[in-house]
Amino acid sequence: QFQIASNVLSGLTHINADLTAEGDLAESWEVSEDGLEWTFVLRPGVTWHNGDPLTADDVVYTYNRSKDPEQSIHSAVIANITDVQKVDDLTVKLVPEKPQASLLVKSLERASGRAMTIVNQRAIEEMGLEQYGLTPVGTGPFMVTEHQLGQGLTIERFADYYDPERPKLDKVTFIPIPEPEPLAAAIEAGDIHLIGGNGAPAELIDRFVANADLTVSDVTGPGFQSMFINPWREPFVVTDFNKSVDELKQENGFKVRLAIAKAFDRDDFIERALFGRGSPGFGTINPAMRFFFDTAINEVSEQRFDVEAAQQLLADAGFPNGEGIPTLKLLTTPAGRREGEIIVNMYKQNLNIDIELDIKDFTVLIEDGNSMNYDLMRLGSGGDYDPDDGLVDWMQTSSKFNGPNRNVDEMPFGFFSDAEVDALTDEQRTISEPDKRKELVQKANQITSDKVAAVFTHHPLDTLVYRNEVNFPDISRIPGLVDLDRVTLTS
């Protein structure tokens, strides 16, 4: 989804390889001193794939549609925008309720999950939403010409793209190949040219690296992976996180949570489960964010690996050598079975805890996660380009992934709730001064780590594998995306 959207659709802005925003449909913009008025000038002469001219009306229509939760699952992304006004045919004014430091990257960026990816009203009304979802009409460098569910999708060069020098390729076909061995055989034989979108299984990478016909490109991935612990279930009940870490350490439920976190050997997991392809995780702020990432958190987090300390915490909580802890269930997906088995073995070895895998399709896992129906759950995020993607979307009491469908009478909050984290997150959103924002972001991230909002396991690598006849320029190597508009192919 991310890959298709970023090649076919457009936003007012688009991120570059440094994860900073640059103009896409917006040629320029200005912001008022108080940060409460953003004026965007659109590129002249932009054409939709159906021949319609792009105007400010399209931006207004997209906003009015996307702000409605009934029409967009990403409405929360633009909840801070109170109005979008047409100034003239090529000028729009955005009015945030509060200053928002992440506006250009989180709300207005064109990739999937950003609610202000501009859509075509006439196409939606004529095609219907279901068909528009299959063959969207955009203003991007490529247009969808064929889409057969489960079989593949074809995009072709859009001759009227606003940059006449792009795209370079005439046609690209996306082919789903879910099994590792057929996937490897296809790229080795030259039947496909590129594996992207984190589609390359970790166990195949060494094989690809050894193949002289292939290039393996790694960058730090924009996301985090975690194991969430349900604070409403024994033996790790915590009904109030609004205490100091030292105070929480006096509670048996928190002792068990912290023991589970400290017994997770990130280096061992990354080596065995990911074949070394990742970096240890201690929070939602990922290394791809660079400036905001705290390189020292692995040395100071309460979650840092210490088996002896973890075993002592369990004993202090009344479970010496894991005795008395019931068999726990770890919710994961079929694709996560192998990694889940490694986790099960790790906890049996390190804490003598028995864990069973509860394997469900991803959609069911999300339903159970949203209703807090799990003991432990493996889940994470990708496409996180700004601290708001981690803190606002996951770590606040009101976050959209924080048990939104739970029984609030029985569970006043989801997997985590901390008033200081809520306040720090709200404050950093409004700060335009980078160093001050960084300080607040790292403080909030540290608290979520120390109070075990989740067992943060790792940050994945973003990997592309392509044949040597593919020229994938550095300017297009955006973490989490596969932008193809500058890619060329030699025969």
Confidence of residue 199 (pLDDT cuts 50, 70, 90): confident
Tell me: pLDDT of 194 over 80.
yes
Tell me: pLDDT of 439 over 90.
yes
Tell me: pLDDT of 113 over 80.
no
Tell me: pLDDT of 465 over 80.
yes
Q: What is the mean pLDDT of residues 362-389?
A: 96
302-337 confidence digits (pLDDT tens): 999 999 999 999 999 999 999 999 999 999 999 999
Question: In 3D, which of 312, 169, 152, 245 has the Cα closest to residue 450?
Answer: 245
Confidence of residue 1 (pLDDT cuts 50, 70, 90): low
Tell me: pLDDT of 201 over 70.
yes
Q: What is the mean pLDDT of residues 279-298?
A: 96
* CATH classification (class only), 224-462: alpha beta
pTM, entire model:
0.92
- Please state, for a pLDDT cut of 90, what percent of the chain lies above it: 91
5-28 confidence digits (pLDDT tens): 899 999 999 999 989 999 999 999
Confidence of residue 4 (pLDDT cuts 50, 70, 90): confident
pLDDT at residue 150, rounded to an integer: 83
477-486 confidence digits (pLDDT tens): 999 899 999 9
pLDDT at residue 200, rounded to an integer: 86
Tell me: pLDDT of 72 over 90.
no
CATH of the structural domain 2-140, one choice from 3.90.76.10, 3.30.479.10, 3.30.365.10, 3.30.230.30: 3.90.76.10
* Residue bearing the bigger pLDDT, 70 or 96: 96
CB contact at 8 A, 259 and 200:
no
Confidence of residue 286 (pLDDT cuts 50, 70, 90): very high
* Cis amide bond preceding 326, omega within 30: no
Question: In 3D, which of 177, 183, 248 has the Cα closest to residue 417?
Answer: 248
pLDDT at residue 196, rounded to an integer: 85
What integer best gives the mean pLDDT of the chain?
Answer: 96
Q: What is the mean pLDDT of residues 241-254?
A: 99
pLDDT at residue 2, rounded to an integer: 67
Which residues have a Cβ under 8 Å from the Cβ of 215 and sit 6 or more positions away? 464, 465, 466, 467, 468, 470, 472
- Of the listed ranges 108-117, 231-240, 246-255, 443-452, the one predicted with least confidence: 108-117
Tell me: pLDDT of 443 over 70.
yes
Domain segments of the chain: what residues? 2-140, 224-462
Length of the chain: 491
